[in-house]
Structure 1
Amino acid sequence: MHGRAVITWVGLCLLLLLPSCSPRVVKKGAPGGPEDVALAYLDAWARNDLGAQRQLLVQVPADFDAQHARWRQGLGVAASRFEGLDLEAQDDGTAVVVFRGVHTLRGLGDWEVESRLRFERQGSRWRLRWTPEVFHPEALAGDSFGRLRAWGPRAALLDASGAPLTEPGEVITVGAYPGRVRDGAAVASALQSQLGLDPLRVQAALRAANAQPEQFLAFIDVRPERYQQVRPALAPVPGIFFRKKTARLTPAEGFAAHTLGRVGEVTAEALKALGHPYQAGDVVGLSGLERAQERTLAGSPSGEVRLLPRSGEAVVLHRFEGAPGTPVRTTLRRDVQAAAEAALADVMRPAALVAVDSATGEVLAVASRPLGEALHRALTGRYPPGSTFKVVTAEALLAHGLKPDSRVDCPPEAIAGRRRFRNFEAEAFGQTTFRQVFALSCNTAFIQLSARLGRDALEDAARRFGFGVRYDVGLPSPGASFPAPGDAEDRAAASMGQGRVLATPLHMATVAAAVDTGVWHAPRLLADADAGPEARLSAGTPEALRSLMRAVVTEGSAKSAASFQGLMGKTGTAEFGTALPPETHAWFIGLRGGMGFVVFVEGGGVGGRVAVPIAARFLQTLDASAR
């Protein structure tokens, strides 16, 4: 008997993208012997070249191609490779070659099977007498192959206390059959008024689906309680229909929707990114933490390879042992998240609210609006922070000797470089204290004061508050940037959070939180994740900053929230765009009870008039839940 021969082919290696493949010398018997034919046959099999396989057979079965197709389809064979062969027996007219095949089954993994190739000599040439034994030694004519595959229960996302935030439940899909729609505008109008869907997108989807008029077109999933509310208005509209399905439910509709994310049938894009062991039809995380933590939450599928005899019961040839998903604990606090959702409930403009633990950077709540928009603006939207950045500028000024009671000037305008800067609504407070210009957010005072700082002082202060620092939240978030000012005009704009300064709402919550402890902590959403970068504020500045931020609430631009004991903060009205007068984002960053938070309303107007009332609702709801 010849020694074991290891089979490798350069072409096969390229086909299967096996990094361990490399050409090796194959130990063979006499040229043209059964081992040579076996090598050629297995090479053709690996390439799925049925024509080349047929040429090596004694007699080609009539259904040879069909049997291979059923074998591949029944098992979901993605690729095959062959790692060894032995010449088991040979005489003058017959030979048996044992080989080991490794078949990669989609969504399951590699199935190894040892089988035989039986050869007959025809003159001077060896030919294969093919039977189903080639697939598996137990296979007989008329048998077929099949498999089972199943994922275990998906593990839950947990809140900071370890309680589930996601559980299996039932939802109702609201959709339409395009062929039964009489008036697309009426369908779009009803879905807009009842569920807030964009009517233009609804009508575009209906037009695109005209080629398949009887295919159900899904628009939105709603919880049973919401379905009961909207059904009376939607059911009478021709073309609108409803379907029940199982889904992952959160504590309430919209609860941390962008952050927790959603699950659904895998898309082509997600399937490509996930790779093994996923396959079309699998239910996976499509967004948020459900997507980011997919492999942890899902575990791995289990399965069986089965031989299906023409008569009799199925025989299990191989089992794939799956693994259950593992729960992922977040840092979200259910009461804080619920308060954030309630605060944004009636906000019609795009908005965000984030709260973080000032001692750790753990994200306690994060909410983005609108719910129907994929953009998680709380984490990924980057905007000029406006006057909320004056907390950073104030830290730089305090570090260089300025005191809250230092006398400063707040004139109607200030000139920096070639640009003339003015205060909001042409305010001017004359000679006053630094506390007063901070509380009332005097732009001209900050421009004049920051001009006295050293070249890198403002940039250094920004870095102490995490600007330009990379960190991993647990979901994509670009953080904040503070490009070094290029000239006096650039420095003046940067000192009040304009120009090229950009930050996410999440990051501005960490700016507020840093004032509490004197240490800036990178934010994180996952309880078991390592702590990220941190930076210490300049000595003596946190106490002074807290007094300045308290003055904003007691006597400044956030005075409407003065009833909240211990609240500190800073308003911001950030200009953007090219309109005259410019449009503005509304900001408020706050600090209270060991929690830093931010309210942001995109294009919302004035921070003190728009963002502060939302912050008040947030705190009011949170206080009520604690009673």
Structure 2
Amino acid sequence: MERSRNEEQTRYSSFSRRSLLLGGGMLLGLGTLVGRLYQLQVVEAERYRLLAENNRISMRLLAPPRGEIIDRQGIPVAINRQNYQVLLVAEQARNYRQVLDRLGGIVEITEADRERIDRDVSRVRSFVPVRVRDNLSWDQVSRIAVNAPELPGISIEVGETRHYPFGAVLSHILGYVAAVSERDLIEQNDPLLQLPGLRIGKSGIERTHDETLRGAAGTSQVEVNAVGRVMQELTREEGQPGHMVELTVDTMLQNYAQQRLMGERSASAVVLDVTNGDVLAMASVPSYDPEPFGRGLTAAQWRALTEDPLNPLSNKCIAGAYAPGSTFKMVVALAAMEQGIDPGERVFCPGYYELGNHRFHCWSRGGHGHMNLQDSLIQSCDVYYYDVARRLGIERIAAMARRLGMGVPVGIDLPGEREGLVPTEDWKLATIGERWQGGETLISAIGQGFMLSTPLQLAVMTARLVNGGRAVVPHVTRAIHRPGGIEPTVKAPPPSLGIPERHLDIVVEAMEEVVLGRRGTARGARIDLPGLEMGGKTGTSQVRRISAAERAAGVFRNEDLPWHRRDHALFVGFAPVGRPRYACAVVVAHGGGGSAVAAPIARDLLIETQRRDPASREGPSGPIAALGGQG
């Protein structure tokens, strides 16, 4: 009996302890729950209210209008134009492919369009609009609106597209805009780039000043449901339009230059203001229409551009590298005088120059006789420069060339500039693995061999020669128009190159005689208008080596060769004589002789440049009036 009571007492004690532990645990859990509810509903109530609100309210970016581009006269050259787009919402269309079939009876929808639409529909939610076609005419918009009941899910939206009023005339300067790529998203940390349909600058000024032209995004607060569908727009704040960019280019002069080159298969020309480096014209042919890039090129269009052997996408003024030929002789002349060679010293030219076992020929087979420095420039005697180069060495020649803007980037505000090539002994050893030869110095002195330059570099060299030895830097941006005012790009005069003025005068006087003198190589291209005369230098650069057999037989005329084996024609010039203001460089690829082909083009460009300069006009009876329709 006693044992039974003890067992009962033990069970009761054990039950009581368990009850207390269970009750305590329940009270602890309840307290924790109450505390957590208090924290959520009282202490952190505002935080979670905002989180819930953000799940309901979505902030979206709005693309701002892209800034316009104008030329130096204020003429718009890149603007935004209304763009009517057809959009498709797959959810509303149900069978969107059938809807596209019906829409195809109103506007053209290519197979490439259908493939893109299928791809876009598969990537986004069914209620997100997908672009079908851009740049619809008003007639097409009207016909779609009339047939709207039969086109569920189809809508029209008004946006903006980039328009270039002058098309291919300015394409190498302006560049173009195109869709944002994956690489752009990685390289640029800008949320604006994620907007569907946004276009950014891909080349030319559009790329150089893309962020300036792009502007700042606007915002739109929209109410969305649980799956992200927009229910209504709550607030809207438009973005800040991009800033206007003003160019140094004269569009009418640019158009003239482009048309003047159109007779050539591949050519380029640059006109500079020698006082400040303003690029007044920069023409390259063939060219291309920049507008289709904004809409998206088809595969066929892209192949046609990239597989064209004449390379229309390349701005040959800054990316075309050519042997400068005899236009390089001014560089050697200045290097010679800097090293103490008397410009009056005479060198005899029998038509060739011998160095070791090799004979280096002058372009004049019969020779020029005795030549001093100025004579050698006026008649473009090769033998004079062979002799001077042997005494100078390639290093001194290269140093002067770089001071004048050759073999180095000149710093123009356009992407894709090539630096050309001014060879040296170290360059050849590092690049080719061979030692420099004496004969290579000789052919470099007449702008051949490894020597390469761009048309822009030739124009810069000429500008620095005739402006008193000032290191002008070429540029195509004149100013940025900001809300606070106009910000010019050139704010200080160019520094001096340290070339003695008397040396420059000797070279410039010779360049004047090249055109105005009776024995000058460009006398056939002279400007016979008082006050507008030009000076310059011809150049003809070989693209192949003439064999001894060809030279003996005389069978090496350009007319007898296929186009791609003919010489390049070059000319650098300036005007007006006596008070130079403009420099010009012309390169006609495989054009033949510089005096016959390139010099007349430069003459016409310099006449037109001066005709358009208000400072050159002297009233109705002045020299400009005498031009009439010329230029």
Aligning the two structures, in what range does the TM-score lie when normalised by the shorter sequence? 0.5 to 0.7
Q: Cα gap change, 1:380/1:522 in structure 2, threshold over 3 Å: closer, same or farther?
A: same
Aligned in 2, Cα 1:578/1:363: closer, same or farther, shift over 3 Å?
same
Q: 1:94: which partner in 2? A: 37
How much does 1:571 deviate? 1.0
> Which one of 386, 411, 422 corresponds to residue 482 of structure 1?
422
Pairing of 1:190-589 with structure 2 (within 5 A): 247-250=161-164, 252-277=166-191, 278-279=193-194, 280-308=196-224, 314=232, 316=234, 322-347=239-264, 349-372=265-288, 373-401=312-340, 406-416=345-355, 419-424=358-363, 426-453=365-392, 456-476=395-415, 477-485=417-425, 486-519=436-469, 520-527=471-478, 528-529=488-489, 535-554=497-516, 555-564=519-528, 565-577=532-544, 583-589=566-572
CA distance 1:136–1:557, change in 2 (3 Å): farther
Separation in structure 2 between the aligned mates of residue 149 and residue 431 of structure 1, nearest angstrom: 75
Contact map agreement 2:267 2:589 (CA 8 A) in 1: yes
Partner of 2:8: none
Give the whole-Å Cα distance in 1 for the aligned partners of 2:284 and 2:566.
Answer: 21
Alignment partner of 1:592 out of 558, 567, 575: 575
Uncovered stretches (5+) of structure 2, i.e. residues with no partner: 1-31, 85-109, 119-133, 138-157, 289-311, 426-435, 479-487, 548-555, 557-564, 614-623, 625-631
Instruction: Work out the CA distance in 2 between the residues paired with 1:504 and 1:312.
Output: 55
Instruction: Choose which of 585, 600, 612 in structure 2 pairs with 1:613.
Output: 600
CA pair 253-324 structure 1, distance change in 2 beyond 3 A? closer
In structure 2, relative to structure 1, the CA distance for the partners of 1:462 and 1:579 (3 Å cut) is: same
- Structure with higher strand content: 1
Amino acid at match of 2:348: D
> TM-score, structure 2 length as denominator?
0.62
Q: Distance in 2 between matches of 1:456 and 1:250?
A: 46
Structure 1 residue 592 displacement after superposition: 0.9
Q: Deviations over 1:70-116 (max 9, x none)?
A: xxxxxxxxxxxxxxxxxxx97256354499x9xxxxxxxxxxx9742
Decide which moves more: 549-558 or 263-272: 263-272
Cα distance change of structure 1 residues 411 and 169 upon mapping to structure 2, 3 Å threshold: farther
What is the one-letter code of the residue matched to 2:498? Answer: R
Bigger relative contact order (CA 8 A; separation at least 6) = 2
Q: Secondary structure at the match of 2:52?
A: coil
* Matching residue of 2:591: 604
Matches within 5 A, 1:112-261: 115-116=47-48, 135-137=51-53, 148-169=60-81, 247-250=161-164, 252-261=166-175
Instruction: Rate the CA distance shift 1:98–1:210 in 2: closer, same or farther, 3 A.
Output: closer
AA in 2 matched with 1:529: T
Which stretches in structure 1 are left out of the alignment for 5+ residues? 1-88, 102-112, 117-132, 173-205, 216-220, 225-243
Q: Kindly tell me: are residues 171 and 403 of structure 1, through their superposed partners in 2, closer, same or farther at Cα, counting changes over 3 Å?
A: farther
**TM-score by structure 1 length?**
0.63
Pair member with larger Rg? 2
* DSSP 3-state at the match of 2:391: coil
Contact 1:342 1:618 in 2 (8 A): no
RMSD value, Cα: 4.0
Q: Distance in 2 between matches of 1:160 and 1:392?
A: 32
Indicate how the Cα distance of structure 1 residues 211 and 625 shifts in structure 2: closer, same or farther if over 3 A, else same: same
2 CA distance for matches of 1:161 and 1:613? Answer: 27
Q: Give the direction of change, closer, same or farther, for the CA distance of 1:245–1:606 in structure 2 (3 Å limit).
A: farther
With over 3 angstroms needed to count, the CA separation of the structure-2 counterparts of 1:95 and 1:422, relative to structure 1, is farther
Q: Distance in 2 between matches of 1:357 and 1:114?
A: 65
Distance in 1, matches of 2:369 and 2:83, equals 61
What CA distance in whole angstroms lies between the structure 2 residues aligned with 1:312 and 1:261? 37
Tell me the number of residue pairs that the alignment of Structure 1 and Structure 2 aligns: 448
- State the one-letter code of the partner of 1:504: T
Q: Distance in 2 between matches of 1:295 and 1:210?
A: 30
Q: Is the Cα contact below 8 Å between 1:156 and 1:327 reproduced in 2? A: yes
Q: Which has the higher helix share?
A: 2
CA distances 1:141-183 after superposition (whole Å, capped 9, x unpaired): xxx65555432222122323555332334899xxxxxxxxxxx
| 1:529-573 superposed Cα distances (whole Å, 9 cap, x missing partner) | 356776232341111111110111123221121235431111111
Residues 488, 334 of structure 1: alpha-carbon distance in 2 compared, 3 angstrom cutoff = same
Superposed CA deviations along residues 205-250 of structure 1, whole A, max 9, x for unmatched, are x9x96996999xxxxx99x9xxxxxxxxxxxxxxxxxxx9965444
Matched residue of 1:479: which SS? coil
